[in-house]
Chains A and B, each alone.
Chain A
Amino acid sequence: MPQLSTDSYPLTSPWVLEEALLPCPSQRSDVSLQILDDEALLFDSATGGTFRLNRTALIVWEGCQPTRTYSDLVDDVCNEYEIDRATASDHVQQMVAMLANNGLLNP
């Protein structure tokens, strides 16, 4: 399961999203990334919030680029882990929702 830990916000329930309807989310440019081993930290310079990403969450974060599609994110997770596409899509939805709820993605 993707995990995003935060020291400044409670985590909220993920949205239920339809993969086909989603535009590709993109990272906010003022959020910085520090990779540590196979995990990472995000720092939101607007709020001072710091977030910890596990490996799956990091894959999703790195995929959140304007040039890519939501399906690409699911492909990224499928390529990394031996899981079916539906499960990967669930993980991506949860992670994107958590990133969005914490204001780390462009609206």
Chain B
Amino acid sequence: MKQSASEPDFYTHFQIGPMRVAVRSIMPQATEDLSHLYQDFRMPDLAADEIDPQTTIRVDALPWKSKLPWRKRFAVHGDGKELFTCLRSNEILPYMEWAVNWRIIARGESFLQLHAATLEKNGAGLILAGGSGSGKSTLACGLMSRDWRYLCDEFALIDPLTHQLRAFPKALCVKEGSFPVVKKMGLPLWQRQHYAKAFKGRVAYVRPNVRSREVMDQPCTIRRIIFPRYVAASRPLLTPMARSEAAIELARMSFNRQSFGRRAINILSEICRHADCYRLESGDLGASCELIESIMPRQASVAA
């Protein structure tokens, strides 16, 4: 990667759950914003030659070298590979965050990974499994505002030996349609400028709560699995689901089940055996959160 004179010398460095992330950007504001979002996760800055590629995900936002000046201006690299290009500076942070996500999928091989938001209450882990647009990040925001421990809004990282959830408490990415309800829940949206993220449109970020940082190394046992689907202006509805159906849905939502082979189905079956599984038609955020809380165990065993 060719170095530019204006590229910062040092990487801003974070420890987020089991992952270390080092970022730098040609646009200082993107790095400053990430520093704000992850201020509780900051580690000492690193020079490029201090980064251990075995343990640290490296993300660079650099100028994109194009002969056509009206074309894309920025390129976001993950671990030295160009992953995204973008035109506007307000796209850099979302793409850097996306690059981190992609690299976690590629490098987090020791975990069985699902497309899901994960949270914990009273020692009981909750998986909100669903694709983009299912409302899992908004639900995670709502539950976090109700003093849940937030683990992640994009990945369920499952330890294949203990079948417990590990936290990766990244900043929550909220789409424009959810801005009013998230603000209503009392969570501050970080919108120094309006970020834009490809097909998702305008997005904003919510900082993980302090509790998520304090106990991010503590795994938790999965007790409830919910497949949410957002239906505007509907009354929330929870429907119990067969465990076999839940297990096969989770398999579909796994990013890396191929690398686990038969073990993936064994792990997911075992998780579903010990969890209650539901479909959720979510509408009003507050009512949806209340409904979820009503099915959580009052006091759960932390042990696997």
State the A residues within 8 Å of B (CB): 5, 7, 32, 34, 36-37, 39-41, 43, 45, 48, 50, 52-53
Contacts and interface: CB of A to CB of B under 8 A. Distances in A.
Nearest to A48: B258
A50 B242 contact: no
B265 A7 contact: no
Interface in B146-198: none
B247 A7 contact: no
A92 to B, nearest CB: 20
A34 B261 CA distance: 14
Interface residues of B, number: 17
Given A5-B248, A7-B248, 8 more contacts: A34-B266, A36-B273, A41-B244, A41-B247, A41-B248, A41-B269, A48-B257, A48-B261
Contacts of B289: none
Interface of B: 242-245, 247-248, 251-252, 257-258, 261-262, 265-266, 269, 272-273
Contacts of B245: 5, 39, 52
A53 B247 CA distance: 12
Most buried by B among A5, A36, A43: A36
Nearest to A5: B248
A39 B273 CA distance: 11
Nearest to A58: B244
B248 A50 contact: yes
B242 A32 contact: no
A41 B242 contact: no
Given A7-B251, A50-B248, A36 B262 contact: no
A31 to B, nearest CB: 10
A34 B257 CA distance: 16
Which 7 pairs show the lowest CB-CB distances between chains A and B? A39-B244, A34-B269, A36-B243, A43-B265, A36-B244, A52-B248, A52-B244
Contacts of B248: 5, 7, 41, 50, 52
Contacts of A37: 242-244
Question: DSSP class of A's interface residues: helix, strand, loop or mixed?
Answer: strand
A50 B262 CA distance: 10
A40 B243 CA distance: 9
A53 B243 CA distance: 12
Contacts of A52: 244-245, 248
Nearest to B264: A43
Contact of B265 (A5, A39, A50, A53): A50
A32 B266 CA distance: 9
A36 B242 contact: yes
A5 B257 CA distance: 18
Contact of B247 (A34, A45, A48): A34
Contact of A36 (B251, B252, B261, B272): B272
A7 B252 CA distance: 7
Given A7-B251, A7-B252, A48-B258, A32 B244 contact: no
Contacts of A40: 244
9 contacts: A5-B245, A32-B265, A34-B265, A39-B242, A41-B244, A41-B248, A41-B265, A48-B261, A52-B248
Given A7-B252, A50-B248, A43 B242 contact: no
Most buried by A among B242, B252, B265: B265
A36 B265 contact: no
Nearest to A32: B262
B247 A36 contact: yes
Nearest to B273: A36
A5 B242 CA distance: 13
B200 to A, nearest CB: 26
Contacts of A53: 244
B130 to A, nearest CB: 16
Contacts of A5: 245, 248
B206 to A, nearest CB: 33
